[in-house]
Amino acid sequence: MLYSSKEKITKSYDVIVVGAGLAGMTLANKMARDGRSVLLLESHNKLGGFATWFKRLEGEHIFDVSLHGFPVGMIKTCRKYWSREIAERIHQLKSVRYINPQFEVETDFTKEDFIKVLIEKFGVSNLTVQAFFDELTNMNFYDNSQMTNGELFEKYFPGRNDITRFLLEPIVYANGSNLEDPAITYGIVFSNFMSKGVYIFQGGTDMMITMMRDELIKNGVDIQMQARVDKILVNDKKTVGVEVKGHIINSLAVVSNSNLKSTIFKMVGDQFFSPDFVKKAQAVRLNTSSCQVYMGIKKGESIPFVGDLVFTSEDASFSTDLILSPKVGSQTFSVYYPDARPHLDPKYAVVSSSNARFEDWIHLSEEDYQIQKKYIIERAIAGLEKIIPGVRSIIDFVDAATPLTVERYTLHEKGASFGTKFEGLDVSMNMHKEINGLFHAGSVGIIMSGWLGAANYGVIQAHEVDNYLSRLEKEIAIN
C-alpha cells in the first residue's frame, strides 16, 4: 500500500529499505515477492532516485535525467526481478557517435563494431585487439590485480591517446572513471556495455518508474514518500528499525540505499562500528558529480537524426582530469526523438552532460554560480549548433543542473552521481558483519553503479538480507 506522507506507520517489518533508487526498489520488489514484509521509505516525493525526470512549460517538455544508455543486461534483470512488460520496453540505441579533433566515428557500440573500428580506423593489428578483449573478458573480480586503466591502455596501445579516448571517454562520462582507477572496474563496465550495444527504456523514465511502483504495490511492498529517515536505530549490535521525523518504525533488518558515507556517519553513527571499519569507511573516495543542460525543442519543430548519443569534444587530446574540470571542451549529447515517448504528443529534446567536481561549484558566490551556469548553457547550445545548425532558434526551453542541484535532490554527499570509487564496495558489502541486520545497496565501487549495476546490487543484497532473516527464524525456532 501507499502511505500518505503524514501517516504514522505502526506496523513492524521484516525489512525497511531506506531510499527508492533502483537498488532499493529492486531489492524491495524481490524480497516482497519472496514473501517478506517490506517497507520502502523515500525522502523525495517520487520514486526512482537518480532514475528520474521532470516536466517544464506545463508538461510541454519532459526531460530524463539519467536515461542516456545502459547495458543489455538490464533486459534480463527487469524480466527476472520486475516484469516482462518492463523488460520488453528496453530498446537498443541505433547510433553512438564521437566527434573530436582526433577522430570521428559512428558505432552501434557492439564488440564486433569496436573490433572493426580499432582495426580499420585506428590501424591496430587483429592480434592486439583480440588480446585486449581477451584480457577484459578474463578479468576476475577476485584476482586482486593492481593494474590501472592507464596501465591497461599502455600495455596494448602504447602512446595512443586517440585509442584511449575512443575506449575510455564513454566510460568516463558514464561513471567518472579515470586512468588511475583499477582496470577491473573498466573491464567489467566496458564489457557489459559493448557486449551488445547501448539500450534505453522506451516510454521514458516516468513510465518505467510508474510501472515499477505499480509492481511494488501489487507485490505487497508498503511505500511512504516524503519520509526522510533521520536515524537507523541500533541496539546491542543489531538494527532494530529507523526514525522518521521523530517517529520510530521497527524492523528486523534495514537496508540503506542512501549514500554509503551518509549511511555510516550520519544515519547510523560511527560509534556503532569497529575502529577498523570506520577507518576504511573514512578512506572511501566519493565519485564525481555532473552538469547537465536540458534543451526542449519547440512544439511543431523537428531536428534531423544525428545519432542517439554524441560524444563531442573540442579538446585536442584526451585527459580524464580535463574532462572533470569546468574548462572542459567535451560534452555528451543525448538526443531524444519522438519515439522516446511514442505514447505522447511527439517532442524532441536534447540533454548535454559533462562530468563535474562538486569542489569547483560549491565555493562560487551566488553571482559567479549564475555566471558559470549561463556559461555551460551557452557552451551546450553552441556545441549543439555544430551538429544541428540553426537549432538555437527552435529551442524554447533551456536550464542547467550542476553538482549542487544533484546534491540537493538526491542527498548524495557532494552530488556524487556514481556513488564511490572501487574501495566503497568492500565497505558496503561488509556492513552487515559490523551490525547485525544492517545492509547497504546502492551505487558503490564503480561496478555497482549505473542503472544495471544498482539494480543488480539490489538483487545481490536481497539474497544477503534473506539469509540473515532465515538465520534469525532458525534461532527463534531453536529457542
Ligand X SMILES: Cc1cc2nc3c(=O)[nH]c(=O)nc-3n(C[C@H](O)[C@H](O)[C@H](O)COP(=O)(O)OP(=O)(O)OC[C@H]3O[C@@H](n4cnc5c(N)ncnc54)[C@H](O)[C@@H]3O)c2cc1C
Out of 65, 167, 168, 286, point to the residue binding ligand X (CB under 6 A).
65
CA–CA separation, 58 and 305 (whole Å): 27
CA–CA separation, 66 and 89 (whole Å): 16
Out of 417, 428, 456, 461, point to the residue binding ligand X (CB under 6 A).
417
Q: At what angle do helices 73-81 and 22-33 cross, to 10 degrees?
A: 40
Q: φ and ψ at 98, to 5 degrees?
A: -120, 130
CA–CA separation, 254 and 99 (whole Å): 46
Q: Determine the size of the site formed for ligand X (CB under 6 A).
A: 39
What minimum distance in Å lies between the beta carbon of 439 and ligand X? Answer: 13
Distance of CA 429 to the CA centre of its chain: 18
Cell of 223: 511505500
What minimum distance in Å lies between the beta carbon of 378 and ligand X? Answer: 20
Q: Say if residues 416 and 259 touch (Cβ distance below 8 Å).
A: yes
Out of 278, 344, 398, 411, point to the residue binding ligand X (CB under 6 A).
411
- Binding marks (x or -) toward ligand X, 228..267, rule CB under 6 A? xx---------------------------xx---------
Q: Count CA atoms within 13 Å of residue 330 on its CB side.
A: 26
Q: Running DSSP on this structure, what letter comes out for residue 37?
A: -
Contact between 297 and ligand X (CB under 6 A)? no
- Binding marks (x or -) toward ligand X, 335..364, rule CB under 6 A? ------------------x-----------
Out of 31, 51, 376, 447, point to the residue binding ligand X (CB under 6 A).
51
Contact between 73 and ligand X (CB under 6 A)? no
Contact between 96 and ligand X (CB under 6 A)? no
Contact between 190 and ligand X (CB under 6 A)? no
Contact between 77 and ligand X (CB under 6 A)? no
Contact between 466 and ligand X (CB under 6 A)? no
CA–CA separation, 284 and 163 (whole Å): 30
CA–CA separation, 450 and 18 (whole Å): 19
Out of 36, 49, 234, 405, point to the residue binding ligand X (CB under 6 A).
49
HEC assignment per residue over 402-432: CHHHHHHHHCCHHHCCCCECCCHHHHHHCHH
What minimum distance in Å lies between the beta carbon of 213 and ligand X? Answer: 13
Contact between 53 and ligand X (CB under 6 A)? no
Contact between 43 and ligand X (CB under 6 A)? yes
Per this entry, what is the length of the chain? 479
Cell of 465: 538480507
3 state DSSP class of 175: helix
Contact between 437 and ligand X (CB under 6 A)? no
Concatenated DSSP letters for 355-397? EE-THHHHTS-HHHHHHHHHHHHHHHHHHHHHHSTTGGGGEEE
Q: Which CB atom, from 182 or from 450, has the smaller least distance to ligand X? A: 450
Contact between 461 and ligand X (CB under 6 A)? no
Out of 13, 53, 81, 451, point to the residue binding ligand X (CB under 6 A).
451
What minimum distance in Å lies between the beta carbon of 30 and ligand X? Answer: 13
Q: Which CB atom, from 149 or from 259, has the smaller least distance to ligand X? A: 259
Q: Running DSSP on this structure, what letter comes out for residue 265?
A: I
Contact between 50 and ligand X (CB under 6 A)? yes
Q: At what angle do helices 183-194 and 126-138 cross, to 10 degrees?
A: 110
CA–CA separation, 377 and 369 (whole Å): 12
Instruction: Please identify, among the stretches 40-48, 92-100, 132-140, 280-288, the one whose residues bind ligand X according to the rule CB under 6 A.
Output: 40-48
Instruction: Please identify, among the stretches 20-28, 134-142, 319-327, 391-399, the one whose residues bind ligand X according to the rule CB under 6 A.
Output: 20-28
Listed in order, strand segments (DSSP E) in 175-288 are 199-201, 222-224, 229-235, 238-244, 247-256
What minimum distance in Å lies between the beta carbon of 317 and ligand X? Answer: 25
- Residue ranges binding ligand X (CB under 6 A): 18-24, 41-44, 49-51, 65-66, 68-70, 228-229, 257-258, 290, 292, 353, 406, 410-412, 417-418, 442-443, 449-452, 454
